[in-house]
Amino acid sequence: MRKKAVAFRKNIINFCVLAALIGVTFFVIFNNNDGFGINSLMDFVSDIHLPFLIGAFICMIMNIGFKGISISVLSRALGYRRSLPRNYAYASADIYFSAITPSATGGQPASAYYMVKDDIPISHTTAILSVNLFMYTASLIALALITFILRPSLFFDLESWVVKVCIIVGLLVQLLLLSIYMLIMISEKAVIKIATWLINILAFLHIVKHKREYLGRINASVTRFKKSVILLRNKKKALLASFLLNFAERIAYISIGVLVFYGAMYNIPELAGTKVDVLDVYALEAYCWFGAYCVPLPGAVGASEAIFNSVFSMIISSNVLLSSTMITTRGINFYVMMIFAGIVTLIHHTRVKVTEHKKKISQTE
């Protein structure tokens, strides 16, 4: 009961921090941009070609769906067949709690909670989510390689060196994570030795105070991931499918902004004459996404908006149109998706509680 109270309190604090960040972000956007306001934003949205706007919302739903299908594929590889709505709920819980917690730390525990409630053992739940996270990181690095190979000039043409640093740091963090995952597969003992060496240095510098606690967590995490790999290493088709589904999830995500941009070009005179290759827009969206990974804030709120404005100023000269495009894109791929995922999670949570209540009643009769 005490743990539930602490968890609830943490969620409330995280939500309040997120709400404050959103408030500050929108205050800055609306007050530092002459001519931009609610009316101009509503005019922009109403001018977007409807099929493109609908397509953006479909991509939002598909983004969650691809994650859910990946979880389903890995679950089935271990013998657990759960319905698509249940897997969609697992993915929704991941996305919702990732959005309201720093560095997206709350997503996987939330998914694990509901998977265990659906009678998937914690050891197998951990394996499924750990391998899915590995594939998510691998798909991100693969997308980054493709983006830099196809459109390196767009990165070098960015005027802001701060944004360039954010993109590089964000990708280096993800590459480091991927390298650690791969090193664990080869030798978990080597990872533990390196981690112990680093923690000892940080403890000596008085940066880390509870050395044993940190080392215990690292050992536990490394052991869990190694066991996860062992459980699924022979399921090659499932692993390949998970990688492709995670890659598709990323494409669906960045397609939201692409559809908003091209939908706006149909009816807005200032954008109608703009000729931009579709790969350029996809690359710009990808660079925005990469840059957001360097900011350990809930949803990278504030930083994501600033990075978007800096990146897309390369093809949108009007500040009003730039802010409108940014808010509409972020509105769908973060704010609306967070609310949608939260509603799906709440519905599933209610079903779980009702089912548990009915079981208790039947056991007492």
Choose the weakest-confidence range: 42-56, 64-78, 139-153: 42-56
CA-based nearest residue to 337, from 3, 130, 66: 66
pLDDT digits (tens, 9 = 90+) for 226-253: 877 787 878 889 999 999 999 999 999 9
- pLDDT given at position 30: 65
Q: How many other CB atoms are found less than 10 A from the CB of residue 198?
A: 13
Contacts by 199-205 with C-beta closer than 8 Å and gap 24+? none
Distance CA 117, CA 113 (A): 6
- pLDDT given at position 245: 97
Average pLDDT over residues 337-357: 89
- pLDDT given at position 353: 86
Please check whether residue 14 lies inside any domain of the structure.
no
Average pLDDT over residues 129-135: 90
- pLDDT given at position 74: 93
Average pLDDT over residues 180-198: 80
Choose the weakest-confidence range: 84-88, 135-139, 316-320, 331-335: 316-320
- pLDDT given at position 142: 94
- pLDDT given at position 91: 95
Where in the chain does DSSP place strands (E)? none
pLDDT digits (tens, 9 = 90+) for 3-36: 555 555 666 666 676 677 667 666 666 666 666 6
pLDDT digits (tens, 9 = 90+) for 293-307: 877 666 566 678 888
Sign of CA dihedral 136, 140, 146, 151: positive
Average pLDDT over residues 65-86: 92
Domain ranges, residue 263: 47-182+226-364
- pLDDT given at position 1: 47
Distance CA 51, CA 269 (A): 18
CA-based nearest residue to 64, from 85, 36, 34: 85
pLDDT category of residue 41 using cuts at 50, 70 and 90: confident
Q: Tell me what the pLDDT averaged over the chain comes to.
A: 83
Please check whether residue 31 lies inside any domain of the structure.
no
Contacts for 221 with CB less than 8 Å, ≥ 6 apart: none
Average pLDDT over residues 155-165: 89
Please check whether residue 196 lies inside any domain of the structure.
no
Instruction: State the helix-helix crossing angle for 161-186 and 188-204, rounded to 10 degrees.
Output: 130
Please check whether residue 197 lies inside any domain of the structure.
no
Distance CA 4, CA 10 (A): 10
Average pLDDT over residues 333-353: 91
Structure tokens that stand for 283 in this block: 């690359």
Average pLDDT over residues 305-321: 83
Please check whether residue 115 lies inside any domain of the structure.
yes
CB 87 within 8 A of CB 69: yes
Cα three-residue angle 155-161-166, rounded to 5 degrees = 75
CB 171 within 8 A of CB 290: yes
Please check whether residue 41 lies inside any domain of the structure.
no
Torsion of CA 289, 303, 161, 260, to 10 degrees: 50
The residue among 14 and 261 whose pLDDT is bigger is 261
Please check whether residue 177 lies inside any domain of the structure.
yes
Distance CA 155, CA 111 (A): 35
- pLDDT given at position 211: 76
Distance CA 41, CA 247 (A): 32
At 184, give phi and psi (nearest 5°). Answer: -60, -40
The overall longest dimension of the chain from CA atoms, in Å, is 72
Quote the number of domains for the chain. Answer: 1
Distance CA 17, CA 130 (A): 27
pLDDT digits (tens, 9 = 90+) for 85-120: 999 999 999 999 888 877 667 778 889 999 999 888
Please check whether residue 23 lies inside any domain of the structure.
no
- pLDDT given at position 266: 73
The residue among 95 and 206 whose pLDDT is bigger is 95
